[in-house]
A and B are shown apart, each in its own frame.
Chain A
C-alpha cells in the first residue's frame, strides 16, 4: 500500500501552509543555531588554539627567573621528572631606535614554542631578524631595523648588535594578542611587539627562560581539568626542586657583579689617571714652552746687546782708524820735512868732515913731537912714580891700619848708641798709657834683652880699646915719620920733573888745544853725524813706524771691515737661529695648543663619561647591595609574560561558553512553545481533513503520520540548517569579533556530534512530539465528530466584565479585544511568552552591550581620573630623586599626588586564581577625588576614608561576597597576610582596588607609612601622550614601573568587542525569533478567525479597523510580553553579569534607557510591519469566499 495519495495530501498541506512550515523551520533554525553555535564556538576557539599551540609546540611551562637561569638552575630543570623536552632561550626588551615602540627580542627556538612564518623566513644569520607579523605593514623584508637597548642594573647590555635586516614576519606560539602583549621594562612599559633573532646575538651567561614540555601533557587538551591538574602537579614539584636556588643564586650573582664592578672601577680609575696624566703633560709642555719663549727673548736681547757692542766697537775702530789716518798723514808730513832736514844736515856734515881731515894731519905732526917729549917725561915720571908708589904703598898700609882701628872703634860706639836708642824707644813705648798687657809684657821682655846686649857690648868695647886700638896708633905714628923723610927727597925730584913737565905741558897744551879743537870738531862732526844718523835713524824709524802704522791702519781697516762683515754674519746667524727657535716654539706652541684643545675638547666628555661611569658604578654598587634573592616563576601559557593574549582568548572562549549555557535554553523554550502552538493549530485546521481520512478508512497512525511528518520535516530541516549555521556562521562571527586582537589562525570549524544530537533531540521534542500529542488527542474523537467542524471556542464572560466600572468605560472594540484575548488563552500565553522571550534576549543583549560599552567611559571618565600610576624604586640616590621630581613637576603634568602604592593579592573567584589588587594609600585624602572618584555606584554618594577601615572596589566585594563591616585577609607585596576591615565599597569596573588613609594603613599593615609612587594627571590625557609620558618615566632609573590605564582598557576592549559582537548576533537572532513568533502568531490568529474578519470587513469596517480588530490583541499581548520580557531579561542579565565577566572586571549593572527602548522599538517595529502585512493580507482576502464556508 503506497498510500500515494496520503503523501500527496501531506505534501499538499505543506505547500499550502508555507508560512507555517517556514515558521517552524525558522524557529528550529534559530533555536538550534543559537544552541549549537554558542556551544560550538567556545570549543572551536579552544581547539583552534590548542592545535596552533601543538603545531608550534608551545611550551607547557615556562620558567623565568628575574636573574636568568644559570647552570645550576638548568641542571635542576633538566632533571625534571616527566619532562619531554626543555629548551633554553634568551630574550631582551628593547625599543626601536628613537621611538618608544618596545619589542621583545627572542632567541630563535629549535623545537619548543616555535614561530609561524607568515612572510619571508626566519633569521639564519646574526644580522637577520624576523618581526611580529603585525608590523608587516610598517616594515618590509630587506629593510633594516634599529633598536636601542637599555643597560641593566649592573650596566650590562645583552645584545651584541642592535641593527638587523628584516628577513621575515612571524607569529609567536606564546604571544597570542596584538593588543595586550604584557608589560615590559622598555618603552612605555607596555610591550608593543616581538621579534626573533639567532641566539648568538645575545651575550649572556645565563638564559632568560626555559621552555618545557611534558610527556603526559603532550596529547591533552589544554582547556581540560586534566591538563590543568597535571600541569599544576609539575609546577608544584618543580617549585619544590627550585626552592633553595634563590639564596644560592643571589650569592653567586652578587659575587660576579662585584667582580664586574671592581673591574669597571679599575677601568674608570685608569681613565681618570690618563686624563690626569694628559693634564700634567700639558702643563709641563706649557712650562717648557714658556721657558723656550723666555730663552728666545733673552737670546734676542743678548744678540741685540752684542750687536750693539760690536757696532760700537766697530764705530770706535772706525774712529780710531780715522784718527790713525790723520796721525799717519801728519807723520807723513813730518817725515817728509825730516827728510829734507836730513838731506841738509848730510851736506853740512860732509864739508865739516873735509875740514877735520886737514886739521887731523897738522895734529898728527904735533903729536909726534909731543910723543918724544912725553917719552922723556914719562921715564922721569916713572922714576918718581916708582918712588911715590913705594911711599904711597907704605902710607896706605898705615892709613889702612889706622882706619881699621877707627872703624872698629866707631862700630862699637855705634852699636852701643843703637842699643841705647832702642831701650829709650821701648821705655817710651812702655810709658804709653792703656798699653795692652800682652804687648807690655813683650816690650818688657825686649827691654830686658836689650839691656843685657848693651852691657855685653860695653864690656867688649873696653877690652878692644886697651889691647888693640891704642898700641896700633903708636906703631902708625913711627912709620909716619920715616915716610915724611922719603917724601922730601922725592918732592925735589918731583919739582924738577914739574919744570920739564911744565914746558911739556905748555907744548902739550898747545897741541891739546889743537887736538881739542880737532876733537871738538870731530866730536861735533861725530855728533853731527851721530845726530844725522840718529835723525836718519829716527826718520827711518818713523818711516818704518809710519809704514807700520800705515800697514796697521790698513790692517785695522781690513779688520774693521771684516769685523763689520763678521758682525753682520753673526747677527744674521743669531737672528736666523732665533727665528728658527721661534718657529720651533711657535710650532711647539701650536702643537701644544692643539693638544690643549684636544684635551679641552675631550676632557669634559671624558670627565663626564667618567662621572657618568662612576655614577653608574655607584648605582650598580648600591644595586648590588640592594639585590634581593631571585624569584623563579613557573608560568603556564596563560601566566607567562606576554601570555595576556592567552588569558583574553580564554576569557572570550569562556564567555561564549557561559552564554551558551543561558541563551539557547531560552531560545529553545520559546521556539518550542511557539512550535507547539503552531502544530496544535495545524492539527485543528486539518480536523475535517483528518476526519475524512479516518472516514475513508485510514487508521490513526496514517493520520498522525501526516502531522509528525510535517513537523519532522520542518523541524529537522530547520535544525539541520541551524546546526550547519551554528557550526559555521556563529564561530566565524565570534572569530571575527575577537580575531583582530589575536594572532591566532582562522578559527577551525569542527563537527560536534554531541550538541548536534541534542539539537535534533530538542527539535523532536519541541516540534514532533507536540504534533503527535495534538494529533493523537484530536483523533481520540470519532470520525463522525471530526467531520463536523470543531465548535468555535465558545464566547464567555471574562473576569473583567464583572468589574463593571472598568468594563463600562471600555469602548466596544476594546471589549471585543479583551474578550478575544481571554478566549484564546493558549495563544495569549504563547504570544506573551514568545514576545517576552525575544524581548528578554534583546534586553539582555542590549543591556550587556550597554554595560560593557560604557564601562571604559565610566571607569576612566567618571571614576578614575589619573592617567597613570608611577611606582618608584626603593633606595634612591639624590640625583635619581631630583630627576624624578623634575619630571614629576614638569610641563606635561597637570596634577600629581604622592601615594603609597603596592600590589596585593588574594585568591578568589571560581578558578581560585590569584587576584591582583592595587593598594593606593594617598598621603592626604583631601582632593583624592580628583584622582579617583570614590563613590557608591548607585547613589554616587562620596565615600569617606575611615581611620579603621578600608574601601574596596565593588568587583572585589562581589567576588569575595563581602560587605561593609566584614574583615578580609589579603597578602601584601611581601606575601605577608594582612587582615583588613571593610568600611566602604566603591564603584569600579576594571581591576581590583583597595584604598585607605594613612592611619588605616599603619593600623592594618603595622608598617610606617611612606610614599613610593604618584598618581598622575596629565595635561593631555590622550593615549599617545600618556604613552610618551610613561616612556619618559620608564627611562628614569628611579621608576620601578608605570601602570597605565590603557593596558587594562585594551584587554577589556577586546573582550567587550567580542562580547558586543556575540551579543549583536544574539540580538539579531532574538529579533528574528521575535519576527518569526509574531508572524506565526498573527498568521494563526488570522487564519483561525478569517470568517470573523471577513464579516467585520463586510460590515463595512475600514481596512485599518479590520486589522486593528484583530491586531489590537496582538499589540496588547506584545506589550504585556515586553513587560514580562523586561522582567525575565533582568534576571537573565543579572545571571550574565554574575557568570560572564572576568574576575577583575565588573560589568556595570546599571540599566540604560536605551536597553529598554531598543527592544520596545524593535518589537514595535516588527509588530507594526507585521501589522502592515496582516493589513495587506486582510485587504486582499475574499470576504465572500470566507462567508460562504462553514466554521
Chain B
C-alpha cells in the first residue's frame, strides 16, 4: 500500500445553478519519501487536489488515504490536527506573519507540535542563520520563502506541500528554493508534493501527475529525477 493513496476523488462546487466538477474521479498514489509534482494548467484541479491533500478542504466523494488514514472522513477538527501535525505548507506568497521575526515565524508552527526541530536550526538549514531575528519586511522574497520552508519543515511533517513555491520568485531564487525542497526530500526523507503549472519543474520529481480538466491525464514515474541545476524555464 502506498503512503498516499487518492482513490476516485471527486470535488464538486455548486455555483448558482450549475455544478462545477473540480476533481473528477482523480486517483493516484505517492510513495513515502518521493518528491511528487502535480502539474496542470490553471483550472485543471491541481489546487483542489492540494487543498484536499493538505486537509484544507474536503472532497465530495472518494478516499484520501494518508499513511493508512482516510482523511476524507475527517471532520474539521481532525483535519486541523492533521494539518498541524502531518502537513507542512509552502505558499506562493510565503504568508509569513509580518509582526514576527523569521525565527518566530518558524516557532509559530513548531510551537504547536511535539518533537519539532529547533527553529534556529531549521533556519540555519535553509541558510538563514544570520537572519533569524529579522522581520519579514526586512527579508527578500527568496529569504522569506526560505523562512516559509523552514517553518513548514521545522515541525517534521509527514508531507511537505508546496503550492507554486517559485511563483513569486525570480529564476535564481526559485531554483534555490526548489533545491532546498529537494534536499528536504532527499536528505531528510520527507515526502514532498509540489503543485505547479510550470512544466519545467516536472523533471525533478520522482513522480509527475498530470492533471487536465479535473481528471488525471497520466502519471509518470521518473526513476532518475533531474538535478535542479539542470532544469530551466
Contact = CB atoms under 8 A, between A and B. Distances in A.
Interface of A: 791-796, 812-813, 815-816, 819-820, 823, 1091-1092, 1094-1103, 1105, 1179, 1183-1184, 1187-1190
B112 A792 contact: no
A819 B101 CA distance: 11
B56 A791 contact: no
Interface in B61-107: 76-77, 80-85, 87, 89, 91-93, 95-101, 104, 107
Nearest to A795: B135
A1098 B93 CA distance: 14
B81 A792 contact: no
Given A1092-B97, A1101-B84, A1105-B112, A1184 B56 contact: yes
A1100 B81 contact: yes
A1098 B88 CA distance: 9
B200 interface: no
Contacts of B84: 1099-1102
* Among all A-B residue pairs, the 5 with the closest Cβ atoms: A1100-B84, A795-B135, A1100-B83, A792-B98, A1095-B95
Contacts of B100: 795, 816, 819
Nearest to A1179: B76
Contacts of A1091: 95
B133 to A, nearest CB: 9
Nearest to A794: B137
B122 to A, nearest CB: 14
Main SS of the interface on chain A? Answer: helix
B185 interface: no
Contacts of B181: none
B104 A1098 contact: no
Contact of A1099 (B51, B77, B104, B109): B109
19 contacts: A793-B98, A795-B136, A813-B111, A1092-B97, A1098-B54, A1098-B91, A1100-B80, A1100-B81, A1100-B85, A1100-B113, A1101-B84, A1101-B112, A1102-B77, A1103-B77, A1103-B80, A1183-B56, A1184-B47, A1184-B56, A1184-B57
Contacts of A1103: 76-77, 80
Contacts of B81: 1100, 1102
Contact of A1098 (B56, B107, B135, B137): B56
A1091 B99 CA distance: 12
B108 interface: yes
Nearest to A1095: B95
Given A1092-B99, A1100-B81, 18 more contacts: A792-B98, A792-B137, A794-B138, A795-B100, A795-B135, A812-B108, A820-B99, A1096-B97, A1098-B56, A1098-B95, A1099-B109, A1099-B112, A1100-B84, A1100-B85, A1102-B80, A1102-B84, A1103-B76, A1105-B112
B51 A812 contact: no
Given A1092-B97, A1092-B98, A1098-B83, A1188 B92 contact: yes
Contacts, number: 91
Contacts of B113: 1100
A55 to B, nearest CB: 66
Given A1103-B80, A1105-B112, A1183-B56, A795 B101 contact: yes
A1102 B75 CA distance: 12
Contacts of A820: 99
Contacts of A1187: 91, 93, 95
Residue from A791, A793, A813, A1100 having most chain B Cβ neighbours under 10 A: A1100
Contact of B89 (A813, A1099, A1101, A1105): A1099
B56 to A, nearest CB: 6
A794 B136 CA distance: 8
A1099 B57 contact: no
Given A812-B108, A1099-B109, A1102-B77, A791 B137 contact: yes
A812 B97 contact: no
A1111 to B, nearest CB: 15
Given A816-B99, A1096-B97, A1101-B112, A1184 B136 contact: no
Residue from B85, B99, B101 having most chain A Cβ neighbours under 10 A: B99
Contacts of B112: 1099-1101, 1105
Interface string B184-226: 0000000000000000000000000000000000000000000
B20 to A, nearest CB: 16
Interface string B143-159: 00000000100000000
B223 to A, nearest CB: 33
